[in-house]
Amino acid sequence: MQIEMKDFLRIFILICMLVLSPSSSLGDTGAFWPDFPAPNGANVGWVARDIIYNGVPMQIRHMSSELKPEEIIGFYRKEWQKTEKDKLLLEKKPPWYLIHRITDSVFYTVEVRPVGSGSEAILTLSRLPEIQNRFLKDSASVRKLINSQGDRFPRLTGSSMQMDMTSFDDGVQARTIMYRNKYDVEANVLYISEELIASGWSKSGDYRTQKGDMGRQLVFKRTAEQIVMTVRQEAGTTEVVANHTKQL
């Protein structure tokens, strides 16, 4: 089953909300981001304070409120639409209600859905491409994240990148990439293994997954780094997912 990237990011965020504490800190870039308003009485916590998703610096928060989704959307319409020049985009993708706002520097998104008698929301701030270079010059931690992606993860010609996400958490840099291609599992495993080993990595694990997807899971290590990679067949293509962690 193919998953739209926006839906994939939403699923990832919801998983993060289960495993990260509200006070989780992923860096110190707050001075380079504007505040994200919230209704009175709402509980707001970090999902990711410093993250790069497909090359775009982002901040992500989770919010819970006793207000209904329509009231949350109403709050942001009142907060953001002060004049006729303030353009907002509203969408409805059940069970989610969405409102977007664009400024000269960032793109705001609120995604809210009903929960019990109230609601929960994902609040996302994204840096716009035209000001990213200026932003990265000012933000040391985000610059480190961008530079760390200079080691291009090996992939066969014609591979289609689905996701590339990097984040900081307590001195650990974590990068997750996902791509698909037309080659079989064994061809991908052979090529990636040869490229990583030639770059100084050692293979410490190689396992077969369930027979239905012809899959392999491999583990590579290099000093303070580790890559856990899964290669499997899905919907007529081969999917590669790699999680690269590095102690900083």
The pLDDT value recorded for residue 148 is: 45
Q: Are 137 and 30 in a shared domain?
A: yes
pTM: predicted TM-score of the whole model, two decimal places? 0.60
216: left (phi over 0), alpha (psi -120 to 50) or beta: beta
Q: Are 61 and 33 in a shared domain?
A: yes
Q: Are 60 and 173 in a shared domain?
A: no
Q: Are 124 and 172 in a shared domain?
A: no
**Cα–Cα distance for residue pair 144/31, rounded to 1 Å:** 17
214: left (phi over 0), alpha (psi -120 to 50) or beta: left
Per the CB < 8 A criterion, the answer to whether 124 and 57 are in contact is no
Q: Are 169 and 132 in a shared domain?
A: no
**What is the distance of C-alpha 94 from the center of its chain?**
22
Order of strands, sheet of 160-169, starting from the edge strand that comes earlier in the sequence: 88-93, 96-102, 106-115, 118-127, 56-65, 43-53, 160-169, 172-181, 237-247, 225-234, 216-222, 202-208
| Pairing of the two strands 202-208 and 106-115 | unpaired
- In-domain check, residue 147: no
Q: Are 18 and 119 in a shared domain?
A: yes
**What is the distance of C-alpha 66 from the center of its chain?**
27
The pLDDT value recorded for residue 51 is: 83
Q: Are 172 and 239 in a shared domain?
A: yes
The pLDDT value recorded for residue 113 is: 93
**Cα–Cα distance for residue pair 197/204, rounded to 1 Å:** 11
Q: Are 15 and 136 in a shared domain?
A: yes
3-class SS letters over 31-100: HHCCCCCCCCCCEEEEEEEEEEECCEEEEEEEEEECCCHHHHHHHHHHHHCCCCCCCEEEEEECCEEEEE
pLDDT tens digits for range 101-150: 988 778 899 999 999 999 999 999 988 764 444 444 444 544 444 444 43
Q: Are 17 and 99 in a shared domain?
A: yes
The pLDDT value recorded for residue 245 is: 92
The pLDDT value recorded for residue 209 is: 79
Last residue within a domain, chosen from 108, 141, 174: 141
- In-domain check, residue 227: yes
- In-domain check, residue 64: yes
- In-domain check, residue 148: no
> What is the number of domains present in the chain?
2
- In-domain check, residue 220: yes
Q: Are 93 and 160 in a shared domain?
A: no
Instruction: Give the CATH number for residue 237.
Output: 3.40.1000.10
Residue range(s) defining the domain that contains residue 100: 5-141
Per the CB < 8 A criterion, the answer to whether 243 and 227 are in contact is yes
Q: Are 97 and 180 in a shared domain?
A: no
**Cα–Cα distance for residue pair 103/235, rounded to 1 Å:** 39
Secondary structure of residue 128 in the 3-state scheme: coil
**Cα–Cα distance for residue pair 200/70, rounded to 1 Å:** 54
Per the CB < 8 A criterion, the answer to whether 85 and 93 are in contact is no
Look-up of token digits 């505040």: 35
Q: Are 79 and 11 in a shared domain?
A: yes
Q: Which pair of structure tokens corresponds to residue 159?
A: 């591979």
The pLDDT value recorded for residue 77 is: 94
Enumerate residue ranges in the chain where pLDDT < 70.
1-32, 129-151, 211-213
The pLDDT value recorded for residue 29 is: 45
